[in-house]
Structures are given as structure tokens and as C-alpha cells.
Amino acid sequence: MYELDESKYLYLLGIIPVLVLIFLYNLYWKRKKQREFGNPELVKRLSPESSVFKSALKLVVLLLALAGVIIALVNPKIGTRTETVKREGVDIVFAIDVSKSMLAEDVAPSRLEKSKQIVSQIINSLGSDRIGIIGYAGSAYPVLPITTDYSVAKMFLQNMNTDMVSSQGTAISDAINLAGTFFDNPQTSKLVILLSDGEDHGEGSEEAAAEAQKKGIKLITIGMGTEKGGPIPLKVNGKVESYKKDNQGETVVTKLYPDALKTIAERTKGGYIYGGSSREVTDYVKNALEHIEKSEFESKEVALYESQFQWFLGGAFLLLFLEIFLLERKTGWITKLNLFNEKE
């Protein structure tokens, strides 16, 4: 078993045939100039110590050293042994309010966009926990089932909007009940992180929280918006055209209702935090996870690889050291042997 750490550097091996071609062209050019200078045999006698073989040998040594350096950059790794790796963590379901009130901009850039920022930062802080996503307004909608693929989760998260659920309202009870179906392993620790402004939270939310508590599910609720509130902008092509109005023609002001969210969290012995600061919320969730027992999701055999670059780098330096002692003229004692009957 082996793997290449930086396989892109293998393209550098293409330099080697280029250098060989340059060497051969240079050799051809020298021979051509020698023939122009005079009789080849006479030129050979004038420079009896020159050796094409020694020049070629020096080139081979340099090219081998270059290949060694390139392979060292690639850093080949060999699997020396296998080890059982266990993944432990918590199953987390994010339930995000996507009702129209979440378009209010009393929290910049808007309650919904702020919610997505917070969830994204929480995901970045996780280790091996599994996560799922739910969107809810007047009803709950499954966005992403439990997974360990955080990049996919963040892609689905960014695509969430207030048009994904047609019925309006804030059906927190539906979101909690749907989240309960996401947990496919009864042995894992379960956490639901619910983000909402708490407005128009519907009936049955406390009962749903009590049922979740019986199943061992904890709830952390995050309040989005301000108690002072703000209007709900109606945008066309990203520009605010007007604000939502009620039946009397008055501008609707949507507010944060933290008490409802606190009550739901307390039912499951969880906690509530205001979502004004992404960092504070992330730290709060990290601290909460440290006090939740981690469960084993899976265990699998993985190969452990060890880097082998040092052998190629060491060989390259050795060849470069030997190249210093290789001269381009003939070796005296080999010439005296006259192995090829060059002397008459």
C-alpha cells in the first residue's frame, strides 16, 4: 500500500527528457564544429583526454539526483500497518426558522442570514459530530439528513430561504418532532439547536419539548432578532420596495420573544442564548458539547502511512557529492588497460 502526498510534483520529471535532448544536441553541435575545424582523427589526437562517456556519466548522475529531489517533493508514503479508528461525537440537528419574520433586519444582515452564519460557524467548530438540518415555518421541512459531510451541509445551509416552506407561522413543535426522527441510533447523544425569533410559535411546542426530553434529546434555543423589533422588508431584485403591512395598512413590526424559547429549552434541561454575537453563540455551544457524553458512531480499519521522502533526498545528495569527483576527461588507469584495443 502506498500513496503520493504531492503527486503534482511528478510533472517536474518532464524536465529530464528535455535535459537529455539538450545534451544530445550539444554533443551533435560539438561534433559538427570539430568536423568543420579539421580531420576528426586529428582533432581526437589533439584532445586525447576528452571522454564522451564521462560526460554522459556525469549527466546520468545529475539526472538521477534531480529525479531523487523531485520524488522527495512528491513524498511517497508506504502503509506500514493498519489501526482501528473509532469516531465519537454527538448527533446534532439544526432547526432553522425560515418564516417571513426572519427577513427582518434588526439583526444585520437579517435574522435568517445571521442564523445561517451562526450555524456555519458552529459547524466549523465541530470535530467528528454528525449533523442534520431542518427548515420550518408553518410546517417543518427536512433539508439534510444526519451526515458527517460538513461541506455538503454548508452548501444546503446557504440555499435555505423563506420560500422553501409555503405555510407561514413558526411551528416549533413540528420542527422538534421532525428532528426526533433524524436520530437513527438510540445509543448516541442527541442535541437539537433551534434558531428562531420565537414569534407566533404555535401550540404544542412545550409538549413537543417534553416528549423530546423523554427521548433523551436536549434543546439549545438561539433567539434571533431584538425585542424592539423591526419591519419585514419586501425586496425586488435585492432592493427594498416596501415593508409588509397588516390588514389595516399598518407596517408590521416583528419582535423577538425570548421567553417562549427559554421555556422550550428548560423543558429538556438545555439552554437559551441570544444570537446577537456569532462568537458568543459558538463558544456557548462548544461548552455545552463538552458536557454531553460522546457516543461511538463507527469504527473502521485505516492504513497508517509513513513518509519515505528522506531516502530519495539522501540518495540525491549522495549522487551530487559523487558528481563532484567525476571529471569529463578519461580515467588514466582505465585507459592503460586498453580494454577496447584503442592503442595499436
Q: What is the pLDDT of residue 83?
A: 64
Cα separation, 163 vs 115, whole angstroms: 16
Q: 4-19 pLDDT, tens per residue?
A: 888 888 899 999 999 9
Residues of the chain with CATH 3.40.50.410: 86-298
Residues sharing a CB contact under 8 Å with residue 106, sequence separation 6 or more, in sequence order: 225, 226, 228, 229, 230
User: 211: Cβ–Cβ under 8 A, 6 or more apart, which residues?
Assistant: 176, 177, 180
Cα–Cα distance, 14 to 160 (Å, whole number): 48
| CA dist list (Å): 49 to 61, 184, 250, 324, 328 | 21, 82, 104, 18, 8
pLDDT exceeds cutoff 50 at 340: no
Cα separation, 150 vs 128, whole angstroms: 10
C-alpha–C-alpha distance, residues 270 and 262, integer Å: 9
For residues 102, 104, 108, 110, the Cα torsion angle rounded to the nearest 10 degrees is 40
311 versus 295: the higher-pLDDT residue is 311
Measuring CA to CA, how many Å separate 164 from each of 96, 139, 240, 292?
12, 10, 20, 32
Residue 262's pLDDT is 93
| 88 pLDDT more than 70 | yes
Chain centroid to CA 337: how far? 65
Query: Is the pLDDT reported for residue 330 higher than 60?
Result: no
267 or 84: which leads in pLDDT: 267
CATH superfamily of 86-298: von Willebrand factor, type A domain (3.40.50.410)
Grid coordinates representing 162 are 423563506
Give the lowest-confidence range in 129-133, 159-163, 170-174, 206-210.
Answer: 170-174
Q: What is the mean pLDDT of the chain?
A: 84
Write the Ramachandran bin of 237: left for phi over 0, alpha for psi from -120 to 50, otherwise beta.
Answer: left
> Mean pLDDT lowest for which of 152-161, 192-201, 235-244, 331-340?
331-340
Distance CA(285)–CA(261), nearest Å, equals 16
Residue recorded with cell 446534532: 92
> Cis omega before residue 40 (within 30°)?
no
Mean pLDDT of 294-310: 70
- C-alpha 141/C-alpha 138 separation (Å) is 10
Least confident of 51-60, 256-265, 328-337: 328-337
What span, in angstroms and rounded, lies between the C-alpha atoms of 25 and 22? Answer: 5
Q: Cα(58)–Cα(52) distance, rounded to whole angstroms?
A: 10
User: What's the number of CA atoms in the CB half-sphere (13 Å) around residue 79?
Assistant: 10
Considering only CA atoms, which of 190, 237, 186 is closest in space to residue 212? 190
Q: How confident is the model at residue 334 (pLDDT cuts 50, 70, 90)?
A: very low
pLDDT of residue 191: 94
* Cell reading at 153: 451541509
pLDDT tens digits, one per residue of 107-137: 999 999 999 999 999 999 998 889 999 999 8
Q: How large is the average pLDDT for residues 248-258?
A: 90
Let me know if 238 is exposed, middle or buried by CB neighbors in 10 A (0-12, 13-18, 19+).
exposed
Q: Angle formed by the axes of helices 205-214 and 258-267, to 10°?
A: 20
- CA distances, 266 to each of 206, 222, 252, 258 (Å): 10, 13, 30, 12
